[in-house]
Amino acid sequence: MRVFIEEVKKLVSKHTSGDVIVEIPPVFEFGDLAVPCFRLGKGNPATTAHDIATLIKPTKLIHHLEAKGPYINFYVNKEALAREVLSEIWKQNHNYGRSGKKADQVMIEYSQPNTHKGFHIGHLRNVCLGDALVRIMRFNGHPVIAANYINDTGAHVSKCIWAYLTFFKGKEPFENKGEWLGSIYTEATKKLEENPDHKVAVDSIHARLESNDPELIEIWELTKEWSMDDFLAIYKELGVHFDSWFFDNELIEPGKSVVNELVQKNVAVVDAGATIVDLKKYNLGVAVILKADGTSLYITKDLALAKQKFDQFKIKKSVYVVAAEQSMHFKQLFKILELYGFNQAKDCKHLSYELVMLKEGKMSSREGNVVLYSEFAKQVRDYSRTEVEQRHPEWSDEEKATATHQIALGAMKFSMLYQDNNKVIVFDPQKATEFDGETGPYCQYAYARMCSVLKKSPESVAEKIEYTLFQTEQEFELLKTIGKFPVVIESASKSYAPNTVCRYVLDLAQAFNDFYEHCPIIKAEDGLRHARLHLLNATRVVLKTALELLGIPPTDQM
């Protein structure tokens, strides 16, 4: 639709000095494209719309237009729409929608799991969001560095190691040791609540770890490896790749150096032994950046890492994908960096997202009521396997296993991406795995259906077709939907919103299913069959690309 959008901009710009914005209306009655006239004139927007509309004549691309209230609604030439969209997809194939412009280099930091804790479905939302954003921004021309920050130090590690050494050493399971450590952390929290005197031993371990006590460092490295093995297996299963890794322990000393510089610059002060930055005049409270006992905090290390990212990787933008619970942390961090004189503070962005909740309420590693990723994934795979068995009992075990894995990934990732980042997900395992409705498997099934039709076709897809043969409402709705794909991707990249691509994938699957239901393909007359096969194949290309940008595997058969 870009060529049509540019045509509309050109037509309207001839008659106004205002900034012309072209929108894609949600319903057909408002046109294929619309221009709001609120800022295009000094008078009544409806009058402005009417006056400009009367001056514009139809073109080869625009069939007609009308002023409706404060908007000018444009209706595209349907033959031109089919020709422009389908010929572009035929030429570009899976590069259709990809930006040819080279944009700024960006680092997207996401996942950030804690070693010595279980990887749960809250972490899954983060991973799905970050991975999709990396894919979308790369597709839109940004060189992107996908980074992970491993929280391998801190109070949670000290608690876990204390409980491991005191109660669980020698009881290690043969596999899933990282997950086992998560259960130890939960037990440690319970024991500390039952007997607060244990805190002395935990604090001692924490101090010894920060001072690099050889005996404890050996235990820490061993247990950290157990967690990392679990994380790497999960990332592999999800098809997620990181270009750069940061570890909490490597940033302790650099962080303390930044704290010292902040004190020297009078940005920070020592108060009752702790180092703080008073941000009350910015409505950001008081930030403690180093504890009174000299041990570091998350913000200590984030101060150093923010500088390292820009200095080492020469990026232009740093994006942190972290839960909304940490919003104050990042507001304080970015303000301190600004006061520090770090010019790139303005180029740091916190992309927040809300939590994944159980029906009973918020999950907590401390309380032990988390839904671990391994449990969630198994449940989704079981649902998927049952569906595959019922649909295709004749398939080989390998075919069933492949389909089960792909469908499970589709169900999990779609359920994590479909909601707006700022909305809480109340996890419903049954709903997430349904094969109808607003789910990943529904969209994957639409793709599989396209592949099936193409396999059954007695002829290959023809490049040259008669565009005037498209006459039905369903054909034009599908053409418009695949035509706006490049606009959707560009917008999703600029607004850091993978959920809009998720919504698009669902709309595309629904538009295809309407087309499939109302428009015979294989049984159509020769010319019309060629045209509809071409349209179907173009839709398949776009849906495949869109699914892959979400990290969801397209399935050839379901």
pLDDT averages per 10-residue partition of the chain, 558 residues = 95 95 89 96 95 97 97 97 98 96 96 94 94 98 98 94 96 93 93 95 91 95 97 98 96 96 98 97 98 92 98 98 97 98 98 81 58 88 90 94 95 94 82 83 96 94 95 97 97 98 98 98 95 98 99 94
Contact 317, 107 (CB under 8 A): yes
Q: Identify whether the C-beta of residue 237 lies closer than 8 Å to the C-beta of residue 413.
A: no
pLDDT recorded at residue 426: 81
Is residue 550 within 8 Å of 132, Cβ to Cβ?
Answer: yes
pTM over 0.85: yes
In terms of CATH architecture, what is 110-249+306-362?
3-Layer(aba) Sandwich (3.40)
What does the pLDDT read at residue 355?
84
Q: Nearest CA to 244 among 152, 106, 114, 346?
A: 106
Q: Which amino acid is at 493?
A: S
Give the whole-angstrom CA distance, residue 551 versus residue 516.
Answer: 26
Closest to 203 in 3D by CA, of 326, 292, 289: 292
Largest CA distance in the chain: 85
Contact 274, 292 (CB under 8 A): yes
Sheet arrangement for strand 286-290: 269-271, 274-278, 286-290
Q: Which of 292, 245, 252 is nearest to 154 (CA)?
A: 252
Convert the pLDDT of each residue in 115-149 to its tens digit.
999 998 889 999 999 999 999 999 999 999 999 99
Domain 382-549 has CATH 3.10.450.50: no
The CA distance from 494 to 350, in Å, is: 14
Partners of 187 in the β-ladder: none
What residues does CATH 3.40.50.620 cover in the chain? 110-249+306-362
What pLDDT, on the 0 to 100 scale, is given for residue 436?
A: 86
CA distance 516 to 535: 11
Contacts 24+ apart (CB under 8 A), 459-463: 459/530, 459/533, 461/533, 461/534, 461/537, 462/530, 462/533, 462/534, 463/90, 463/534
- Predicted confidence at residue 346, as pLDDT, reads 98
| CATH 3.30.1360.70 corresponds to the domain 2-76 | yes
Yes or no: say if 185 and 159 are a contact pair by the CB < 8 Å rule: yes
3-state secondary structure 224-255: HHHHHHHHHHHHHHHCCCCCEEEEHHHHHHHH
Q: Mention every residue, 6+ apart, whose C-beta is less than 8 A from residue 109.
A: 130, 147, 148, 149, 246, 309, 318, 319, 320, 321
Give me 476's structure tokens: 């034009």
Cα–Cα distance, 245 to 151 (Å, whole number) = 11
Q: What are phi and psi of 115, to 5 degrees?
A: -65, 160
Could you tell me where in the chain the CATH 3.30.1360.70 domains are found?
2-76
Instruction: Please provide residue 514's backbone torsions phi and psi, each rounded to the nearest 5 degrees.
Output: -65, -45
Contact present, 4 and 61 (Cβ < 8 Å): yes
Q: Is 354 exposed, middle or buried (0-12, 13-18, 19+ CB in 10 A)?
A: middle
How buried is 204 (Cβ within 10 angstroms: 0-12 exposed, 13-18 middle, 19+ buried)? middle
Nearest alpha-carbon partner for 497 in 544, 425, 549, 540: 549
Query: Which residues on adjacent β-strands are paired with residue 270?
Result: 275
Q: Residue 179's closest CA among 248, 116, 224?
A: 116
Give ranges for CATH 1.10.730.10 in the chain.
382-549
In whole angstroms, give the CA distance from residue 161 to residue 294. 21
